[in-house]
Each structure stands twice: as C-alpha cells, then as structure tokens.
Structure 1
C-alpha cells in the first residue's frame, strides 16, 4: 500500500477516534458535571488512553469551551449596545410618526398633498415595524445568552453550525443527497487532534516525537513521517530537540527537553501539523522616558501618533487595514502586518505603545458620529483580533503595551491639537491616546472655539464633565465632516 495513503488513513482514523472521545468528554464533564479526576480514570480504563493522551483531549475541549465563554460575554455586550441604539431610534421615529399623523389629519383627503404625506406616514410606520421586530429578535437572543450564562450552560456544535444547517438546503449547497452531506459532516467533526508534550519526555513529547532526523513518529513504531520541515521557526524547533541537564525535585540530575505540543489538522489538501513550544519571552526594551506611541483603531485603518516626553506630536501616519467584505483570515493577516510594522517602529525608537482600553459598544457608538455605514465596517472580529494580536506580538517584540481610558479622546484631540499641529482628525485622536499614557490632567475645552456651546454650560465644572456635555451637544448640531472643517480653520 502507498505510504502516503497509509498515513492519510491512519490520521483520519485517529481523528475520528479523538473526535468521538472529545464529544463523550464534553457530555460527561459539561452536561452531566462529572469531575475531571474520575473521568481521567474511567476514560483511561475504557478506551486505553495514557494520562498524556487524556490531557490532550481535555486541553482541546477546554480551549473550545473557554473560547465560547469569552465570545458569549462579547455577544452580550454587543447585543446590549444594539438594543440601546434601537430603543433610542424607535423613540425618535415614534415622535416623528405622531407628528406626521397630526399633519396628515389636518390635510383634506381631496388635497394634492394628501397622497404624498400619506405615503410618508406609511413608510414611517413600516420602518418602525421593522425596527421593533429587530428589537424583539435581539432581546430574545440576549435573554437566551443571559440564561445560558446564569445556568452555566455550554452549547457546542462539533463540526460547526454553518455546516450543520447545510443539510436542510442540500441543492443550494451543491450536495447530491443527505449521505454526501453526512460524509462531509463526519469528516469535519474528526478534522483535528492535539498531542500535548512535556519537558521530561524524549524530544519533548511522548506520543509524537520529532527526532534529529526531522522525522515525526506517531505513537513510536507505528507510523513515521520522514523529512518534516516547518516553514516558520524551524531553527527554534531544532534547538528544542537538543536536551539539557536539570534536576528533579529530589535533586537528582536528569536530562530534559523543551516541551513541544503538536496539533494535527485536516484541510482541503490533506493533513497538516502545527508545533507549539515554550519560548523565552524577550525582556521589555521600550519605556516612556523619551515619549510614547498612540494607536487609534478605525474602520479600515490604524491611526498612529508618536509624541515626545512632553506630549508634543513628533510624527503621525496611518496604516491601511481593509475590513469591509473580508474573510476572517484576510482581516487577521492585514492586521498582523500592520501591527508588525508599528511595533518594529516602537522597538527602533524604544517607546511604549498606548492603546484604548477598548469597549466595543462605545467604539461603535463613537464611529456612528461619522455615519452608521462607517460604524458597521468595524466588526466585532476586527476589534477582538486587534487586542489579541497587539498583545501577543508586543510580547514577542519586547514592547510594553499601555491601556488608557478612551473617553473623549477624539473630541479633545480634534479641538486642541488638530489645527495646532496640522494633524488629521484620527491622528489627533491617536495623539490624545498617547498623551493619556502620561496621565496628564484632562485638557480644558477651547472656550473661544468657532463651535457653539450648550446654553446651560458651566465652565466651573470638572473638565471631564464639560467634555461629556460638549460631545452630546456637537453630536446633535453638527455633521462630523462639517465639524472637522470648522475646527481645521479654528487656529
């Protein structure tokens, strides 16, 4: 039999076995609530697993569960934000509908203006009906998520919900029959498995060893993959295969390896293997002694501003990150490249990077000032990916990340620094984010501005409270672009 075919069959068979055990473990641990210690014994006895194999199974399942819990928290925040926005919109449109009705009642039905006003009124009623429907649907989703959170209920669809629902639309998804879909479904549920390593095992892993001849042996003598080379980090893995001498808890000398964990994944072109190993995190090489770098996340790009130690902007620029109509992989790649460029600059100038302590709902609300279409471009995935990527990449690069309160950074930056330093509206926001890293006192509003102020405005109040009042006022009286043009001329 062909060696490649044998390998394919072996990995597929083990993937099916691992997938079946993972689903059983989920039912026993998260549905029936059985403790892990007793499950470890029963699984080892019933299925002939080693302790390391059970740990691999448990770690993969725990990763999926923790991901679902994090996503659920994020979804609850996002839905609450949508509900708040819809409720405000419904109240506003209801008032407009009532005014239209009063106007319509005053117009005789024989008047030429009646059909036009009647159509306007009907359109408003239809708009409100759709908004109320959407509000009810979102409230139902939120109630379900909060109920799951309160009852500690975990829902996992092994194989993905998207593929599961395709069985109900076979023709549209180009399946000949249900059997063809089921084959794809079973394959999806068995498409990956984890092999956890340990430093006290040969070549850092008991079950899959990557030896000095660059061959991976799956369960020792059973199957070997010769000449395995990794496109990234090969030199790091080669170094990990070299043992070093250490000591046990009893003080006895012992040979150790770097722990290597392997994840086997089945994709369109066949099986792939990813290797993960511990790598010493470089020491932080940046500080706030000479200044800081602020980053403002926007829909479609990142705005960056570098300041000196006194808070004055030195350099401002943007890096494009296309976000609209992009696949998750494309978006992650674009964000990764952009952050790599920014962090490389931070290393070269030895300055810490400052970002907003982001609340996605607040970020979306601030973007709505520029229009709802603009706000829609910033997806929740882009928002969460930005935070995860910058933190992980900064650790690898030795850059310290500082998080600051994002409240009114855009308003303060636009009024105080945009015209003075010739910054863009987003560059001035990034400047303010960087300045927040020094915890300067909140800037006073420019009281001789060309922009109007609220009628009841107390200059004696705290600056932060005044910026809150001004932000609300300007949001009602100015379109975003009009406000920016006025502030650019206001030197």
Structure 2
C-alpha cells in the first residue's frame, strides 16, 4: 500500500469550519458505533440509526462502523480490555487527568487531545465509483483539489499542498491517480489547527517469477542484539550459505531514523533473494507480551520494542519482495529456535540464530524435522530423578528470579512429559493423544536436559558441546 500525506488549504475560513464540523460528527459517530458494537449491535441496525443521529450519509456511516470494528478487533488481539479504549490517546488523557501541567502548557495539551479525539474522517475507495465518492481528487488548471462531500449534494474544495522539496512528485502521483480512476482511501486528521489528508492506494504487483522451485532464503530476526540472520537452501532443504546482518540503528534513535533503516535492511534481504533467485521464508509471528520473562533484565521491554520493529520490518520485506516478483512464504514459528539450537547449531557449528533461520527455511519448503536417533536414546535414558536434581541445581544457582521461575516451569513440564512416556512407552515421535503434550515437547525436554545445565544464567551462544551427543550419543564424557 502506498500512502501519501498532504496538507489541505481551504479557499476561505467558512469552508474549513464546515469540514471541521463534518470531522467532529464523523468522529462522534465512530465512537458511538464502537460502544454499540461492544453491546452486540449488528452493522445493519447501526447503519440505519446512525445516519439520522449524526447527519451523515450512508457511506460515511459505513466507514465509521468499519473503523470502530477495526479498533475493537485490534484491542482484543493485543489482549487489551476493549471497554478501556480511550479515543484521543491514553497517554495524553493520563497527563490531563494528573493535572501536573498548568496554564498555557495544559491548554495546549488539551487542544492536542481534542484534535486527536474529534478531528478525524475516513472515506474508503470504491472502484465502481471511479476512485472515491465522498472525498475525490480533482485536477484543475490552478492546481489539484480534494472535493469533500459535506452534505446532500454539497461539496467543499480544498487545495492539496503536497509538494515540498523532498516529496515534489507527490502531487503528480495524486494527479495520475485521479486520472486512472483506481480506488483510493482518504483519511483526514486535524493537527495543530491544520487539516491533513492521507491518501492510501493499493499497489498492483507484478506476477511472481521467483518461487521456491530452486530453494529459499530463510530469515530470523533477533532482539538482542538487533540483527537479521539469513540462510540459503536448495530445493531439497540443504544448507548452501548463510550470513548475519547487524541492525544497531534499530536499538535506539528517533522514529524516523528507525523507519529509514528498516527500509534499508528490508532492501538488503530482498537484494539477496533476487541475486540468488530464491523465494523468501519468514515467521508468521504475532508477539503478545504477557508479563516479565526472559534470560536477562529488561527483556520484557526489549521484546515489546522488538515486536513492533519486527512486524514493521517484515511488512517492508513483503512489500519489496512483491514489487520484485519474489514469492514470500510465512510459516509457523513454533520451536524454530529450540530445534535450530539442538539439531543444526552443533551439526554445522553455526550460531543458534543462523540455525533458527535454517529451520524456518526448511519449514517453508514443507520439510519435517526428524529427531536424531541419539537424541531419542538420550530421552529414553533420561529419568525424572535427574530432572529433580536439575531443579535443585537451578534453585541454588540462578540468581535472576524471572529466569529461575521460567527454568523451573520448563523443568516441571519436562517431568510431566517423562512421566507420561513412562506410562505409555513407544509414543515419543507422535502426538500424545488425550494429553496436553505433543512432539514439540520432545524438543523442549531436550532443551531443559542439555542446554539448561550448560548455561543456566543466560542463553548460550556456543553449542559445540552438544556435537558429541548428537553424533556419537555421548554426553558428559571428557
């Protein structure tokens, strides 16, 4: 999707006030629709009632309901209480409630919150209506204008100012869009007393020419330190090459700086895929932060920052790949890191991040990860008593209380898994029907049994100690 921002210049103050009133009514309609959706109202009932209440046409009301539903779904996906959503911004509202700012600074903050709460309007594009019926771009001799529907057969025109130096081609793009009749959505926002328009156009991508037929590039992004690990595999899933791209700029700095470098690194990944003629495989990951957990202090805040950065980076990789006709495959990320560190890190003497990218690449080709025979033997030889001893070792050794809690939780689950195998032997490689366990628990138990003793205070970077166990079936020998 292409988004173009522009400032609207009105011919007179009266026209601007008419549009501001329209934005206020639309914003109220959207907030009202949100509350009714929480109460279980359906779209048809809402659409019928809201038109008269807020004096808006059918299309504006439909778009307000759509935005309200999108906000509701977003709150639920983020595990936020939908009843506690604050339109206008929770942070700004919190500052206003505390009243720690007085005088002009407080009034300025209040105006900013009111603008975010009441200064909105959204209008979806429609191919059958040659672009957008309520907010249409029109090209005239004296410039490019936005025609805004403010009532029954009533329109206000605002000049589109989109041509400052570094973006001087924006107005030309908007003119081409107006002539082509392709659908575009328009969102109006009030900022510092001025009205800005955001034009969103769905891109038409070329036919996919680079597929997984000759292999893929698997990528894995990491929060500490910020970097991308990538691997190249052939069509059979064999490892050909690999690399790591540090991204120190994403760890700190301004929003604009981070955004620039996300595009920069996305270009690097797509360039690699294009040069090698391989599709790209990424994790289809939704990170939901639930409480503190981790291998080091501050891990929660780092994961939260990383989740936003990660999603933004993935979105840019997907967009750039589509523009180049490169296939992008999304896979389930479950246990990619654990499988990588246990199976491929010691086998190829690579880092756990590169190994995770390798698992992602193979998964994109539909390859299943068979469990090495020596690991199966090790699991059968492992006893509950040994895990109980490991639990005591962790209690006495690990100082980080959050890490200790996570280790103990994993060990307890591993003990339950071993107990289930003892009661029904011979089911190691298949899901345990009738229980809460699956074959993935095998990898988790191995991680607990062999990785935790190696480095209980932090995630290890060197897994060469596992090579003897993986290849020779030996563990703990000198």
Please report the TM-score for the alignment, with normalisation by the length of structure 1: 0.66
Alignment coverage as a number of residue pairs:
393
**Equivalent pair of 2:228/2:245 in contact (CA under 8 Å):** yes
Query: Is residue 61 from structure 1 mapped to residue 68 from structure 2 by the alignment?
Result: yes
Aligned to 2:57: 50
Name the structure 1 match of 2:233: 307
1:261 maps to which residue?
Answer: 185
Q: 1:157 aligns with which of 76, 86, 93?
A: 86
C-alpha contact (below 8 Å) 1:313/1:421 kept by paired residues: no
Q: Which residue of 1 aligns with 2:455?
A: 479
CA offsets, 1:85-142, max 9 Å, x none?
xxxxxxxxxxxxxxxxxxxxxxxxxxxxxxxxxxxxxxxxxxxxxxxxxxxxxxxxxx
CA distance in 1, matches of 2:317, 2:288: 20
1: CA distance between counterparts of 2:127 and 2:335?
Answer: 49
Distance 2:20 2:45 in 1: 29
C-alpha distance 466-313 of structure 1, shift in aligned 2 (>3 A) = farther
CA distance in 2, matches of 1:344, 1:485: 30
Residue in structure 2 matched with residue 15 of structure 1 by the alignment: 23
Alpha-carbon distance in 2 for matches of 1:217, 1:302: 45
Match of 1:187 in 2: 115
Larger RCO (CA under 8 A, 6+ residues apart): 2
The alpha-carbon deviation at position 447 of structure 1 amounts to: 4.6
Contact 1:210 1:241 in 2 (8 A): yes
CA separation in 2, counterparts of 1:238 and 1:53? 24
Q: How does 1:420-439 map to 2 (within 5 A)?
A: 421=348, 423-439=350-366
Counterpart for residue 377 of structure 1 = 302
Deviates more, 1:458-467 or 1:383-392: 458-467
From the CA coordinates, give the structure whose radius of gyration is larger: 1
1:482 deviation in Å?
Answer: 8.6
Report if the CA contact (8 A) 2:11-2:157 is conserved: no
CA 1:358/1:276 → structure 2, altered by over 3 Å: closer, same or farther?
A: closer
Q: What is the correspondence of 1:356-375 to structure 2 with a 5 Å cutoff?
A: 356-358=283-285, 360=287, 368-369=294-295, 371-374=296-299
Q: Where in structure 2 are the equivalents of 1:234-313 lying within 5 Å?
A: 237-242=174-179, 257-268=181-192, 270-299=194-223, 300-310=226-236, 311-313=238-240
The one-character-per-residue Cα deviations of 1:307-342 (angstroms, maximum 9, x if unpaired) are 223412323222416554566666555434322331
Q: Distance in 2 between matches of 1:293 and 1:276?
A: 30
Contact 2:217 2:230 in 1 (8 A): yes
Report the equivalent of 1:82: none
Q: Is the 8 A contact 1:414 1:425 kept in 2?
A: yes
Do the aligned partners of 1:413 and 1:428 also contact (CA within 8 Å) in 2? yes
In structure 2, relative to structure 1, the CA distance for the partners of 1:472 and 1:167 (3 Å cut) is same
Q: Tell me: CA distance 1:490–1:10, structure 2 relative to 1, closer, same or farther (3 Å).
A: same
Question: 1:304, 1:69 → 2: CA distance?
Answer: 33
2:230 and 2:357 in contact (8 A); partners too: yes
Q: Return the alpha-carbon distance in structure 2 between the equivalents of residues 340 and 364 of structure 1.
A: 34
| Cα shift readout 1:254-304 (whole Å, capped 9, x = no counterpart) | xxx322221112234833211123433432222122111111121012211
Query: What is the root-mean-square deviation of aligned Cα atoms in Å?
Result: 4.2
Alignment of 1:125-136 (within 5 A): none
Change in CA separation of 1:329 and 1:21 when aligned onto 2, cut-off 3 Å? farther
Say if 1:302 and 1:321, in contact at 8 Å, map to a contact too: no
Give the Cα separation in 1 of the matches to 2:289 and 2:112.
Answer: 41
Q: In structure 2, how many angstroms separate the alpha carbons of the residues matched to 1:466 and 1:42?
A: 56
Matches of 1:50 and 1:406 in 2, distance apart?
A: 45
Cα deviation digits, residues 327-380 of structure 1 (max 9, x gap): 666655543432233134323433222223436369999x935x3445642214
Please give the TM-score of this superposition, normalised by the length of structure 2.
0.67
Q: Using the alignment, how far apart are the partners of 2:291 and 2:230 within structure 1?
A: 19
Distance in 2 (alpha carbons) for counterparts of 1:415 and 1:399: 31
- Residues 296 and 304 in structure 1, CA contact (< 8 A), matched pair in contact too: yes
Q: Secondary structure at the match of 1:163?
A: helix
Secondary structure of the residue aligned to 2:329 is strand
8 Å CA contact retained: 1:321, 1:338: no
* Alignment of 1:168 onto 2:97: yes
Check whether the contact 1:313–1:431 (CA below 8 A) recurs between aligned residues.
no
Once residues 363 and 389 of structure 1 are traced to their aligned partners in structure 2, the CA distance between those partners, rounded to angstroms, is 26
CA separation of 1:392/1:453 partners in 2, compared to 1, >3 Å: closer, same or farther? Answer: farther
Residue 404 of structure 1: which of 321, 331, 335 is its match? Answer: 331
Mapped pair 1:217 → 2:147: yes
CA 1:484 to 1:198, structure 2 compared with 1: closer, same or farther past 3 Å? Answer: closer
Q: Helix, strand or coil: the match of 2:282?
A: strand
Q: For the Cα contact (< 8 Å) 1:283–1:398, is it kept in 2?
A: yes
Gaps of 5+ in 1: 76-144, 146-152, 244-256
